[in-house]
Every structure is written in C-alpha cells, then in structure tokens.
Amino acid sequence: MVNEQNELIKRRFEELEEIKKLGVNPYPHRYDVTHKAAELIKNFTDPKDEAETEARKSVIVSIAGRISAIRRMGKATFCHIKDDTDRIQLYIKKDEVGETPYAILKMLDIGDIIGIKGFVFRTKTGEISVHCVSFELLTKSMFPLPVVKEEITETGEKIVHDAFADVELRYRQRYIDLIVNEGVKETFLNRTKIIKSIRSTLEKYGFLEVETPTLQSIYGGANARPFVTHHNALDIPLYLRISNELFLKRLIVGGFSRVFEFVKDFRNEGIDRTHNPEFTQVEWYQAYGDYNDSMKLFEEAVEQACIAVHGGTKINYQGTELDLKAPWKRIRMVDAIKEKTGLDVLSMKKDEIILYMKQNGIEFDTKLSHSKGLVIASLFEETCEEDLIQPSFVVDHPIDTTPLCKPLREYSIRQLEEMRKDPEQVIFVERFEPYINKWEVGNAYTELNDPILQRRLFEDQVERGRGGEEETHPMDDDFIRAIEVGMPPTTGVGMGVDRIVMLLTNSVNIRDVLLFPLMKPQEK
C-alpha cells in the first residue's frame, strides 16, 4: 500500500512538471466565484421550450471546487466537483475548451481543485450539471486522497468501500476527514449553531461578551492541575488558565452587572472519551442573582441550543431517548445518595461512610478522607452519577468541594461558626452541577462575596495542598482585594460546551467535536 501510494505521488509530481511545461501556473493567485453548487442545484428549473434552452446557454456561472470523481470518454469528460455546499457534475468537451486545457484535464486527479465557467443544464440521465465553456486549474494536489466508494445493494443497503475510517488518522488528518467523510463537516456546522444559540440566549438577557487573559500569574477558578510555562522577559512562571471565573468576578466588582465569555481552558489531566486537556467552556456571571436564577438560564440555554440543531427538545443519544425541555429535575446531593443507597449520610460518622464504601467495593481516594464533606461527594460520584440520565440539577454540595461558593442561606453566622468546630458537621453550599446522560455538563454557584470567609477558605485549600492533595485552589490576594472592594450578590455558571455539542451531535468521543484534538506525536 505504501509503495502504491508512493507511485501515485511520483506520478502527480510528473504531471505537475508537464503542466508547467505547457506554460500553466498550477497554483494561481485567485479565481472569481459567482455561485455555489447547492445554489445551482436548488434554483435550477427545466426550460419550457427549445428557445429557452438556447437562451440559457448565454447565462454563464462560475464555480470552483475539488474534484471528487472523474470519468473520461475520449473527447468528453464527466467529473464531479465538491465545494463547501454540495457536489455537482461537470461536462467538459475538448472542442469547446481547447486543445491545451483538455490536455491539462487529462493530467488532473481526484483531489485537484479547479474553477469552471459554463451554463447549467440537466443531462439525459436527469442530473443537474454545468456544461463547461472554460476551466482553470487552481491547485494541483500532490497527496492522493482515499477514494471512498458507495454501493447500493438490491435490498437498498448502502455499503461503503475504502472508507477513511481509522479513528486516530482521522483526528490527525482532519483536513482529509472533512473532505472524504460525509457528516463530519455537519458536526462542526452544528457546533457553530450551538455556540451561536447559547450566545444569543445570554445576549437576550443583557449579558455582555468580554475577554480575559489566557496566561495567568496565578491560576484559579477551579480545583485542577495547570499547565506551566515561563515568560522570558519578566522571568516569571505563568499558567494557562484553568478557568476564567476570578477575572469575570473582578468585572462584576468593577460594575459590569452581566458578563460572559467563551474560552479555551487548559487542565493538565488525563485524556478519555469526555476529557481533553484543552476544552471549551462558556462562563457567565450575573449580579444580584443566585443559583436558582442560573439553573433557569442554564436549562433554557441548552433547550434553545437543542432546538437550533434539531427543531425540538427530544434527541436520541446513542440509543437513549433524552428530553432537554425545561424545567429539569432538581435533587440535593444527600437525597440522591439516600435514593440510591438508603444511607442518611448526615446522621452517619465519617468513618462509617468510609467503611460502607470499602465494604461495597466503592472506589475512594484515601487522600480525601480528612474531610467528611469530600467523602460524601466521593460517595455520590461513585454511586449516583450513573443514574442521572435525563437532565437533572444536583444541588447543595459540601463546602469542601469548592472555596468559591456561599453556604446555604438557612445557616446563621453563629451556626456556621459552631459547625466549623465539629469535623462531623458538614456545611453545604449553594452549588449545582447539571447532569445529562450521566455526564456533568457544568458547574454553578451562588458566589461567595464575603472576603473574610473567602480568605479562610483559600487558606484551607493551601493547607490541603500541603497535605498532599493534587488539585487545590491557590491563594489569590488580588482577588480577595477585589472582593474587599465589594462584590454584589452574584451567581456564576460554567458550561462544558464540548459535552453539550457531543450530546446534540450524537458524538461518542470528545475528539469527534474538536477539529484538532490533542494527539501524541507520531513516531518517525
């Protein structure tokens, strides 16, 4: 196969030299395009009579695209070209285009890009085509494309031969994947629709799109390991952002009441079916709201994105029927645990919960055993997430899971102080995580705006990091200063855009919805 490909490449280089000898530039600078393939096919109507047929020959269109099939018949050639809208057939006759152009046509291959001028007609077989009056080679392709052939059996079954199906190769050579595999481009067109819809929903409610730094001297906004780099001129370490949360909150302090940002975040973590180290989030922050407001906006944004792609709220994801119509189910974390296991974790000692997990073979990171709240969160993740198929909000999480969220409003200040003294007391915060198809697709809080408590929680995180936890939040004195200036009551949301796109495009791997996912370099 390699030798065969090398021979094809060699032949294309020989053709390239022959074309140049004919005085033709195989890579011209531009070409005027007046029409797209889909437009010509959609708008074509059959002429009423012979006079109209003749008149249409003077209506010249100009299109361009990549050759996807070619069939030579002596002094005439049929071929198909594909542009970014559709595929259309061309009919080229030697005595109409001339000796030299036709000689060039004989040296063209599947994958070459040409421009065509001609008139639109319907062939005797009923296919809408362009009758060429002139053509121009725009790009000679030197690397042979896979030739994907489709066969329709007598029973109507479609069989694809020689498909470009190697998954890893498709991710590495996305440009070829987009050319030869039908449906891949549609996924990314739908991705754009989804992002556009989410943006439209936020703008409808007065949110302002902003930009915040990718390179940060202090990373924050989530518990995750960062990518570290170095700034030579300043001689300081810098981090690729793991979240834009703390900068967006600074804008709330500065007087912007509603802000959002679509960002690339970077987390130095593992890669699997739903995780990529570089991923897309949209985060938004709303002054004077709480996590109940964010739940309503989150479900509306996803519902509208689904409608934008599917025309309704019901989808089938890999055989599972899902309905994204609002309102979604709301359930407290401790209630979800009780429904699944029968345990009332609030009445149990921390060691009793750990013993239950060990006896039932439930995975547990022993580094988290210092905190009853983290034990409860781990129990939830290992036992309950698998049942969260239909859209649901899991609300009210232990404070140990985040240092950036307000405790439940039902606690008095005195009660909070007393609870902190007892390690068996769990303080819960106004946090929710939305789940669809077992996946966590976001994170949201009623934001903490008490600078004294914020500093204390950051200090707890730093201490936990010293104790061996790998993913803790660093101290950020400037952010605390911003809170000290005064941040109004605020709610904030982070939505995992890639996972939403996976759901709405029926994609099984996050790499299927990333044009250029991170790949380990190939060995040479």
Of 55-69, 381-395, 468-482, the least confident: 468-482
Does residue 327 have a cis peptide bond before it, meaning omega lies within 30 degrees of 0?
yes
| Direct distance between the N- and C-terminal alpha carbons of the chain, in angstroms, rounded to an integer | 18
pLDDT at res. 159: 60
In 3D space, the residue among 308, 265, 282, 307 whose CA is nearest the CA of residue 207 turns out to be 282
Per-residue pLDDT at 153 exceeds 70: no
pLDDT at res. 152: 67
Domains in the chain and their CATH numbers?
2-139 (2.40.50.140), 149-182 (no CATH), 185-328+390-513 (3.30.930.10)
**Residues belonging to the chain:** 524
Per-residue pLDDT at 502 exceeds 60: yes
pLDDT at res. 468: 64
Question: Residue 281: beta bridge partners?
Answer: 263, 496
pLDDT at res. 459: 85
**Residue 116: in which H helix or E strand, if any?**
strand 113-122
75-112 pLDDT tens trace: 999 999 999 999 999 999 999 999 999 999 999 999 99
| 513 contacts 187 by C-beta, under 8 angstroms | yes
Per-residue pLDDT at 289 exceeds 70: yes
The residue behind tokens 């129990």 is 379
Q: pLDDT higher for 464 or 297? A: 297
pLDDT at res. 163: 66
In 3D space, the residue among 390, 192, 397, 199 whose CA is nearest the CA of residue 283 turns out to be 199
Of 51-65, 100-114, 147-161, the least confident: 147-161
pLDDT at res. 149: 64
In 3D space, the residue among 279, 241, 186 whose CA is nearest the CA of residue 511 turns out to be 279
* CA dist., res. 447 & res. 304, Å (int): 26
Residue 196 CB-half CA count within 13 A: 9
Per-residue pLDDT at 522 exceeds 90: no
Strands 87-93 and 128-139, how do they pair? parallel
Average pLDDT of every residue of the chain = 92
DSSP string, 439-459: EE-EEEEEB---HHHHHHHHH
* CA dist., res. 77 & res. 214, Å (int): 53
Beta carbons within 10 angstroms of residue 297's beta carbon = 22
242-265 pLDDT tens trace: 999 999 999 999 999 999 999 999
Indicate the pLDDT class of residue 151, thresholds 50, 70 and 90: low
450-500 pLDDT tens trace: 999 889 888 888 887 766 666 678 888 899 999 999 999 999 999 999 999
182-226 pLDDT tens trace: 889 999 999 999 999 999 999 999 999 999 999 999 888 878 899
pLDDT at res. 406: 94
* CA dist., res. 10 & res. 66, Å (int): 20
* Stretch 12-29: mean pLDDT: 94
Which residues fall within 8 angstroms of residue 471, CB to CB, at 6 or more apart? Answer: 223, 224, 225
Residue 293 CB-half CA count within 13 A: 16
* CA dist., res. 217 & res. 238, Å (int): 5
Q: Note the pTM of the prediction, 2 decimals.
A: 0.90
- The encoded tokens of residue 491 equal 């709610």
| 365 contacts 471 by C-beta, under 8 angstroms | no
Indicate the pLDDT class of residue 164, thresholds 50, 70 and 90: confident
Per-residue pLDDT at 409 exceeds 70: yes
